Structure 1
Amino acid sequence: MNKKNIIKFTLDIAMAVLFITFFNKNLISFKFHIMGGYVFTAFILIHMFLNRKWIINISKRLFDKKLRLRVKISYILSVFLSISIFLIIASGVLMMKSTTYDRIMFWKMLHFGASYLSIALIGMHIGLYCNFIMNMFKKVFEIKKNNSTSKMLVNISVILVLIFGIYTTYKVEYFTKVTNTLTYVVQHITPQDIEKPEGNGYKKESPTFINLATTYGSIISIFAISTYYSDIAIKEYNKSKLTKKDNKKIVEEA
């Protein structure tokens, strides 16, 4: 097995686990939350370094008409995800350094909004590279070729995960959180004279890692599954389109 792919695979898992912990800053400790952010940044840089050839190559050919649309989408998605993660890190630092309630809330909402948005982007990123991930799992755990039973179990699992993901997304009001946080950011770009309200205004929750993993993992799965099957559908459509074109050419030549 390619050592570089093993490193990438291990790094991705470590990043996923670490990212999930960020949704509860006191899961381990606030200090861990901060240090974890720096470690996550290092992981991102390592990830980019390992994929530097692909990044440089696609950057040069992004507007090349011969470059497949799927590759362009993957590149653009990666750019947006990188920006989103940068905003999470930067807003976290600036939030701690802010002295006024207005700026604290601005950076806090950007911190939350970018985090929620990253969930969708990560899911779509996973969906596009789902085949690579599944192949790596098969190689790591030495899983042999799929049979009809295993395929059926996989399909059932996908349906169950999708149902649970939809339920969780609705329950935690994911899209509402994304909209509200980012709307607040847009409305408060310009500093305003806002006083801190009395009281906390909400009940603090302390979900465990399992709670966080099932909640945000299931939401990520919605975007991953949707992207994966959309990608398959597009591939099949393009394949059938080419087949029809080739058949038409054969008929014309005959």
Structure 2
Amino acid sequence: MNPKMIIRLFIDVTMTVLMLVAMGYQMTGILAHEVVGVILLVLFIIHNILNRRWYKALLKGKFDLRRILSIMVNLLFLVSMAAVLISSIPISREVLTLIPIKNDMIFMQIHVMTSYWGFIIMAVHIGMSWGTIINAMRRMTGITGSSTVRTFLLRISAVFIVVFGVQTSFERNLGTKLVVYDPFGFLGFDESSITFIMDYLAIMGIYICGTHYAVKFIQKQKQNVQ
């Protein structure tokens, strides 16, 4: 595999893992949360530098439905992450304490809300590229042929993840966190980190699976028209 592709895949996976860690700030503590945020900022900048050709070709070529959706998702992800990072500066308590602000509630609410939106948009972003990711993993593992049994098991797993993710979304009141109704969220004192990670991976799975199959449907419709 192309070394640059391996680096991109590594950075993307690392960013996804760190995003999950950042979402669990009540478990990690403020210092670890802010350090993870700084690392995410650095990786986000590197990610955009490695994908700078995408920006150069933004207004070139044909604009079919899939490309329009891809551009919208990427730009929304960029805006949400920028909002998360900018709003984190005035509320920092450990790492970035250069701009102390007394009335920082509005920044806290913006930070939390855009974090959850960024988390969901990130999952959609991954779903848009899921086919490419799977192909890259196949090349890395040497799996080239197709398997009916493997495909069936993967689809059953996808259904299970989506059902569990929808249930978890309601249990964690994810909808309220997207409108700043519950800015601080809630985490039970007896909750384990494994439970937290599994729940949020399932929530990610909703949007990854949904986006992936939506993209496949769009591509199939395009082929039928042609």
Q: TM-score normalized by structure 2?
A: 0.87
Runs of 4+ in structure 1 off by over 4 angstroms are 202-208
1-structure distance, mates of 2:125, 2:158: 17
Kindly, what percent of the aligned residue pairs are identical?
A: 22
Q: Deviations over 1:7-63 (max 9, x none)?
A: 0111111101111111122544422221221111110111111111122111x33xx
Distance 2:161 2:128 in 1: 18
Letter in 2 for 1:227: T
- What is the correspondence of 1:138-153 to structure 2 with a 5 Å cutoff? 138-153=138-153
Please identify, of 7-16 and 20-29, the stretch whose mean Cα deviation from structure 2 is larger.
20-29
1:76 to 50, 72, 76: 72
Look up the match of 1:22.
Answer: 22
Deviation at 1:205, TM superposition (A): 4.2
TM-score, normalised to structure 1, is 0.78
Equivalences for 1:1-254 in 2 at 5 Å? 1-58=1-58, 60-61=59-60, 66-96=62-92, 97-100=99-102, 103-181=103-181, 205=189, 207-242=191-226
Unaligned runs of 5+ residues in structure 1 are 185-199, 243-254
**Using the alignment, how far apart are the partners of 2:22 and 2:190 within structure 1?**
12
State how far apart, in whole Å, the 2-side matches of 1:203 and 1:212 are.
Answer: 9
CA distance in 2, matches of 1:84, 1:208: 28
Partner of 1:189: none
Q: Deviations over 1:191-238 (max 9, x none)?
A: xxxxxxxxx9x7774754423321221111111111111111122222
Residues 71 and 85 of structure 1: CA distance in aligned 2, closer, same or farther (over 3 Å): same
Change in CA separation of 1:208 and 1:6 when aligned onto 2, cut-off 3 Å: farther
Q: RMSD of the TM alignment (CA)? A: 2.3
**Number of positions where the alignment pairs a residue of Structure 1 with one of Structure 2:** 219
SS at match of 1:143: coil
Q: 1:165 to 1:217 in 2, by over 3 A?
A: same
Whole-Å separation in 1 of the counterparts to 2:37 and 2:180: 24
Q: Whose relative contact order is higher, 1 or 2, with alpha carbons under 8 Å and at least 6 apart? A: 1
Q: Show structure 2 runs of 5+ residues with no match.
A: 93-98
Larger Rg: 1
The CA distance in 1 between the partners of 2:65 and 2:218, in whole Å, is 11
